[in-house]
Amino acid sequence: MTIVETIYDAQKNAHEIEKVTDTHGKFSIPEAYGYQAELIDRFVAEGSVISGYKMGLTSREKMVQMGIDAPIHGVLLEEMLVKDGKLCYDKLIHPKAEPEVAVKMKQDVPAGATIEQLEAAIGWIAPAIEIIDSRFLDFKFTMADVVADNCSSSGYAVGQWVQWPAPGVDLDDIHVAISVNGEEKASGRSDAVLGSQMASLYELHQALTQEGKQLKAGQVILTGAVTAAFRIFPGDVVSNTTDKIGTVTFQ
């Protein structure tokens, strides 16, 4: 099987695989994004719908946890959204949860938009939890592997959307805390993500522009985990409690 077929199969059937850089030989980061795009094209051809994008490895905590010190981006599909606060574990291998801030665009963002234009295109923000589930054994990978695996994307839960701009809320001063079964695992501030949420969004926008894509009205962006990620199991109650924009919980 090709690299894309191997990862597609692992995602579809929720089974662990060896790193594709081991089984198929090394490849570059641009090639890895090419494989990611091919993988997403396959899902879209089957009826999946792109709901947005995510940035990853944007905080120090995550870079240290995964041993990779450069941000990456991946694609969110509608079917990844956790509905009614209920996460289905059937298609998950060894999932982890991480606290994030989500933004939703109210208008399309043209290529070459400035950071100010980008911020003006945000319609809402919300507390979020990303559920990541690397297809690679023991959740270990190189940057090329994880990019090809659509950056471990597998699920995301979003709380109540808050209209943006929101009086008294600074995008970079939102305190988030992740808890599992009522026990706080970690907390941090939203500026942990590349020093500012807008820096993360702008980096995503620039990367998409280079790929000939753009952020569109209605799309959701996860700007990256503020803290490390924590292993979760069926039945766990997982929350991201923020100080300014509410809470999101799933089980």
- Piece of 15-23, 57-65, 173-181, 197-205 that binds ligand OOG (CB under 6 A): 57-65
Measured between alpha carbons, how far is 208 from 220 in angstroms, rounded to an integer? 14
Pick 227 or 241: Cβ nearer Mg ion: 227
Residue 99 interacting partner from ligand OOG, Mg ion, none (CB closer than 5 to 8 Å by kind): none
Across 65-194, the runs of DSSP E, i.e. the strands, are 72-77, 96-105, 122-132, 153-158, 162-163, 175-180, 183-189
Count of residues engaged in binding ligand OOG, rule: CB under 6 A: 15
Q: Which of 76, 132, 177, 198 binds ligand OOG (CB under 6 A)?
A: 132
| 27 CB neighbour count, 10 Å cutoff | 18
Measured between alpha carbons, how far is 198 from 47 in angstroms, rounded to an integer? 31
Q: Scanning residues 25 to 54, which ones bind ligand OOG (CB under 6 A)? A: 54
**Helices assigned H by DSSP within 110-196:** 115-120, 143-148
Minimum gap (Å) between residue 213 Cβ and ligand OOG = 19
The candidate with the shortest Cα–Cα distance to 248, out of 120, 71, 89, 128, is 128
Q: Scanning residues 209 to 238, which ones bind ligand OOG (CB under 6 A)? A: 224-225
Q: Which spans of this chain sit near Mg ion (rule: CB under 5 A)?
A: 56, 130, 225
Write out the residues near ligand OOG by the rule CB under 6 A.
54, 56-58, 62, 66, 98, 130, 132, 134, 146, 151-152, 224-225
